[in-house]
């Protein structure tokens, strides 16, 4: 275990989620055990040609940072971004198995009513509707089914924003990562910049690693001012030990540092839908959403595979800022953050150029970041080798 793993655990979080994986290791893996999401029989229509997916995720501790940014600046609009984080973490997971329609969405909000007023809830709900409208405009068929807002101040110090998506799709349309094989290439899609369906520059943050990012980036001033924004039993030296104030200039995209870390999670749904239509699902051997586990997420998919990432997308300014402020190595950062690439498509090399063209149409940078080879030391276990910007290679 690296020092960074230790620091992350002492903040009450886990990059590897080893305890969770251990708890579910003996559960049923569904119809497509190699797929990015669990897929089950069609319980909604009882049609053997179809299948169902139900997925849950949320904005995580990013909502705690939104809370203190709101308190410091009065900018309540940051909670619209939290709604997008919660929704897109689900959408981009299930689209990784090929789902683009028949999506039903529900949200679950748990708040401490003493400090989270109704206007925040309204902003989150409006944020959900705004993102759903954008997705629908881009051909993603998703419908809001309402949700639950619970006043649970005895349990929650600020606010938790979670959601669930259910989808129904043809089994023949499923993209299953068990198809990943030696000879394939890995096309990475950038998490930063300004896609043509986004309103402003996106730093690339996503919704993973926020426990690390907010404490590594922001200064001790918030330790004293907002004790409700972190766990009581976290040692002082691990809380808000960075270099920056929330309102310091980030320079890029005209954002503050706080706004950069709070950048709403980019969705790749419009891009992937177009790729499915133009290239064909059958030519895609796997799609990996670099959420929990960052650039090492791919290690959980395929069998006896070695993921070689030797030409990664340029690491964007935000992650360099986090690395510098937290005094972290690239090797450590790759285990937690997407590092500028939150979606990977694995397919034969002859189709890679078409993926790059389609992604470029949406103004989302993309490149071939690596390739797949056989794991020389195991026919069942996978490994990942990443070449960092400083030239150092790390094997995971």
Domains of the chain: which residue ranges?
Answer: 3-395
User: How confident is residue 57, by pLDDT bands cut at 50, 70 and 90?
Assistant: very high
Task: Report the C-alpha gap between 73 and 52 in whole angstroms.
Answer: 43
Residue 23 has pLDDT above 90, yes or no: no
Which tens digits make up the pLDDT trace of 130-151?
Answer: 999 999 999 999 999 999 999 9
Read off the pTM: 0.94
Task: Mark out the alpha helices in 95-197 (DSSP H runs).
Answer: 118-137
The band of 1, judged by pLDDT with boundaries at 50, 70 and 90, is very low
Mean pLDDT of 324-348: 97
Q: Which helix (H) or strand (E) holds 332?
A: helix 330-333
The mean pLDDT of 271-293, rounded to a whole number, is 97
Phi and psi dihedrals of 16, rounded to 5?
Answer: -85, -20
Q: Check residue 15 and give its pLDDT.
A: 55
Contact in structure between 53 and 97 (CB atoms under 8 Å):
yes
Q: Which residues pair with 143 in a beta bridge?
A: 104
Residue 70 pLDDT exceeds 70: yes
For 143, the token pair is 């419908």
How far, in Å, CA of 333 to CA of 294, rounded? 8
Residue 106, strand partner residues: 164
pLDDT at 27: 75
8 Å CB contact between 102 and 168:
yes
pLDDT for 385 equals: 98
| Predicted pLDDT at 338 | 98
309-332 in b/e form (b: 16+ CB < 10 A) is: beebbebbbbbbbbbebbebbbbb
Q: Please write the tens of the pLDDT for every residue from 210-253.
A: 999 999 999 999 999 999 999 999 999 999 999 999 999 999 99
Q: Reply yes or no on whether the pLDDT at 116 is more than 70.
A: yes
Tell me the per-residue pLDDT of 77-86, one tens digit each, with 9 for 90 and over: 999 999 999 9
pLDDT of residue 29: 82
Q: Which fold has domain 3-395?
A: Phosphoribosyl-aminoimidazole Synthetase; Chain A, domain 2 (3.90.650)
Per-residue pLDDT reduced to its tens digit, 307-335: 999 999 999 999 999 999 999 999 999 99
Site of tokens 């920056």: 244
The DSSP H or E segment spanning 104 is strand 103-111
pLDDT value, residue 9: 65
Do β-strands 305-309 and 383-387 pair in parallel, antiparallel, or remain unpaired? Answer: parallel
50: Cβ contacts below 8 Å, ≥ 6 apart:
42, 44, 168, 169, 170, 171
What's the rounded Cα separation, in Å, for the pair 244 and 258? 9
The pLDDT of residue 7 is 66
Task: Check residue 2 and give its pLDDT.
Answer: 45
**Whole-number pLDDT of residue 19:** 62
């Amino acid at each position: 275990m690296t020092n960074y793993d230790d620091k992350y655990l002492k903040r009450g979080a886990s990059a590897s989620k080893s305890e969770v994986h251990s708890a579910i290791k003996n559960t049923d893996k569904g119809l497509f055990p190699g797929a990015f999401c669990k897929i089950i029989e069609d319980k909604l229509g009882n049609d053997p040609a179809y299948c169902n997916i139900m997925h849950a995720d949320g904005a995580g501790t990013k909502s705690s940072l939104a809370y203190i940014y709101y308190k410091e600046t009065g900018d309540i609009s940051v909670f619209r971004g939290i709604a997008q984080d919660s929704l897109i973490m689900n959408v981009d997971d299930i689209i990784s198995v090929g789902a683009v329609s028949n999506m039903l969405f529900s949200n679950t909000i748990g708040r401490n009513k003493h400090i989270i007023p109704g206007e925040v809830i309204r902003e989150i709900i409006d944020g959900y509707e705004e993102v759903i409208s954008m997705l629908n405009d881009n051909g993603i068929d998703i419908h809001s089914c309402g949700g639950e807002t619970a006043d649970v101040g005895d349990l929650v110090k600020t606010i938790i924003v979670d959601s669930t998506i259910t989808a129904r799709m043809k089994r023949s349309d499923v993209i299953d990562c068990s198809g990943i094989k030696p000879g394939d290439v890995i096309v990475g899609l950038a998490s930063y910049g300004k896609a043509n369906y986004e309103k402003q520059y996106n730093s690339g943050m996503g919704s993973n690693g926020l426990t690390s990012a907010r404490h590594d980036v922001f200064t001790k001033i918030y330790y004293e001012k907002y004790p409700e924004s972190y766990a009581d039993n976290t040692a002082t030296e691990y809380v808000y030990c960075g270099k920056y104030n929330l309102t310091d200039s980030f320079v890029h995209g005209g954002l503050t540092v706080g706004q950069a870390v709070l950048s709403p999670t980019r969705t790749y749904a419009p891009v992937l839908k177009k790729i499915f239509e133009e290239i064909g699902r059958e030519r895609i051997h796997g799609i990996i959403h670099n959420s929990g586990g960052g650039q090492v997420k791919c290690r959980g998919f395929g069998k006896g595979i070695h993921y070689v990432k030797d030409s990664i997308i340029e690491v964007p300014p935000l992650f360099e800022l986090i690395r510098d402020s937290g005094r972290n190595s690239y090797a450590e950062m790759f285990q937690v953050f997407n590092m500028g690439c939150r979606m990977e498509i694995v397919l034969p090399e002859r189709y890679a150029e078409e993926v790059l063209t389609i992604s470029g149409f949406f103004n989302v940078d993309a490149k071939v970041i690596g390739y797949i080879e056989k794991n020389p030391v195991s026919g069942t276990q996978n490994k990942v080798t990443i070449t960092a910007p400083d030239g150092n290679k790390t094997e995971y």
